[in-house]
């Protein structure tokens, strides 16, 4: 029963914070709303018995990536006229309708998925030990490739940020 | 009773909201944040399915998606900073030199 209550609390937090993030004029305020939205998604990960990914969500998304966003936002020194709210027009209403159709399509196909629920989980499910063991045995080569990807991203960011 | 369908429909909703934010807003920083929201929705799908199938592979994929999101945020923000230096604006409608 408490799982149901917590699911709806975290679902309302994440969806509501994402909605508030989209409809803001000031990007700093919307970055702060998005931090709370990421916390809501981290709570959902805890409910899904994935504590390691929940901790990574808070550390990497709500911590590192959003700090990077706020840092760049304060570096950019935006003027008042950059922060105007986007007007509603027919193109946007059409895009919204297409998005609602897309959501209906996704929901229709997701509700037809049949998976028998299991309540007994294996040992070390979702803990750092379990995920790490999988990461360093089955997924060793993708893990090393991710390190190369991050290195390339660092070099690319330095090259792009350098003044000509 | 929370089934997998609750989580899957919630992640579909989050993905659609991120898509709307990425398409409708003109502020490039909010577009980048909406792309982060879409990646989060994909992560939620992976975690939910791996919980109900009792395999941990989804957690590893979520880890990789987080690494890709971090790289994307770093490169995207570097591009935004260098474009802002030359154009002095962050509206996507003002950056149309690539349009034919």
Q: What is the pLDDT of residues A17-45, one digit of tens each?
A: 999 999 888 889 999 999 999 999 999 99
Q: What is the pLDDT of residues A60-114, one digit of tens each?
A: 988 899 999 999 888 887 777 777 766 778 888 888 899 899 999 988 988 888 8
Q: Name the one residue in this structure whose structure tokens are 């805890």.
A: A46
DSSP string, chain B: ---HHHHHHHHHHHHHHHHHHHHH--BHHHHHHHHHHHHHHHHHHHHHHHHHHT-SHHHHHHHHHHHHHHHHHHHHHHHHHHHHHHH---BGGG--TT--
Q: What is the pLDDT of residues B27-77, one digit of tens each?
A: 889 999 999 999 999 999 999 999 888 889 999 999 999 999 999 999 999
Q: Which of A112, A143, A106 is nearest to B44 (CA)?
A: A106
Domain with A134, as residue range(s), is 122-164
State in Å, rounded, how far the first CA of chain B is from the last one.
54
Examine the domain organization and report whether A19 and A99 are in the same domain: yes
How close, in Å, is residue A135 to chain B by CA atoms? Answer: 6
Phi, psi of A119 (to 5 degrees): -110, -20
Q: pTM of this prediction? A: 0.91
| B80/A72 CB distance under 8 A | yes
Phi, psi of B91 (to 5 degrees): -85, 135
| B16/A15 CB distance under 8 A | no
pLDDT at A119 over 80: no
User: Which of B29, B60, B68 is opposite residue A73, by nearest beta carbon?
Assistant: B29
Confidence of residue B19 (pLDDT cuts 50, 70, 90): very high
Closest residue on chain B to A52 (Cα) = B59
Domain with B40, as residue range(s), is 26-93
In this structure, are residues B18 and B34 in contact, taking their beta carbons and an 8 Å threshold? Answer: yes
| Dihedral in degrees, nearest 10, Cα atoms B36, B37, B38, B39 | 50
User: Which of A92, A99, A113 is opposite residue B4, by nearest beta carbon?
Assistant: A113
Q: What is the ipTM of this complex?
A: 0.90
What's residue B41's pLDDT?
A: 95
Examine the domain organization and report whether A24 and A93 are in the same domain: yes
What's residue A164's pLDDT?
A: 65
A window 2-31, beta carbon within 8 A of B = 3-4, 7, 11, 14-15, 18-19, 21-22, 24, 27, 30-31
| A69/B66 CB distance under 8 A | no
DSSP string, B5-31: HHHHHHHHHHHHHHHHHHHH--BHHHH
Confidence of residue A118 (pLDDT cuts 50, 70, 90): low
pLDDT at A126 over 90: no
Domain count, chain B: 1
Residue A117 lies in a domain: no
Q: What is the average pLDDT across A138-163?
A: 92
Closest residue on chain B to A102 (Cα) = B16
Q: Which of B79, B69, B98, B86 is nearest to A159 (CA)?
A: B79
Residue A40 lies in a domain: yes
Lowest mean pLDDT of A4-13, A126-135, B87-96, name the range: B87-96
Domain count, chain A: 2
Examine the domain organization and report whether A84 and A47 are in the same domain: yes
pLDDT at A7 over 90: yes
Write the CATH number for A104: 1.20.120.1200
Structural tokens at position B98: 């690539």
């Amino acid at each position: 029963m408490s799982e149901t209550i917590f699911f709806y609390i975290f679902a309302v937090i994440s969806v509501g914070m994402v909605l508030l993030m989209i409809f803001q004029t000031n990007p700093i305020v919307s970055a702060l709303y998005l931090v709370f939205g990421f916390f809501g998604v981290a709570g959902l990960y805890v409910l899904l018995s994935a504590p390691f990914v929940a901790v990574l969500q808070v550390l990497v998304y709500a911590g590192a990536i959003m700090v990077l966003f706020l840092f760049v936002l304060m570096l950019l020194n935006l003027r008042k006229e950059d922060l105007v709210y986007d007007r509603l027009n027919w193109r946007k209403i059409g895009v919204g309708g297409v998005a609602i159709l897309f959501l209906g399509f996704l929901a229709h196909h997701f509700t037809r998925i049949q998976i028998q629920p299991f309540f007994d989980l294996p040992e070390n499910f979702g803990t750092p030990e379990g995920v790490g063991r999988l990461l360093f045995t089955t997924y060793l080569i993708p893990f090393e490739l991710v390190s190369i990807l991050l290195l390339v991203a660092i070099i690319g960011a330095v090259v792009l940020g350098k003044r000509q | 009773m929370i089934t997998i369908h609750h989580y899957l429909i919630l992640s579909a909703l989050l993905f659609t909201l991120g898509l709307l934010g990425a398409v409708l807003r003109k502020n490039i920083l909010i577009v980048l944040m909406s792309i982060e929201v879409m990646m989060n929705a994909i992560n939620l799908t992976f975690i939910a399915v791996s919980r109900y199938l009792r395999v941990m592979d989804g957690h590893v994929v979520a880890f990789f998606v987080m690494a890709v999101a971090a790289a994307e945020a770093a490169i995207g923000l570097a591009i935004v900073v260098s474009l802002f230096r030359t154009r002095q604006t962050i509206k996507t409608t003002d950056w149309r030199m690539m349009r034919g």
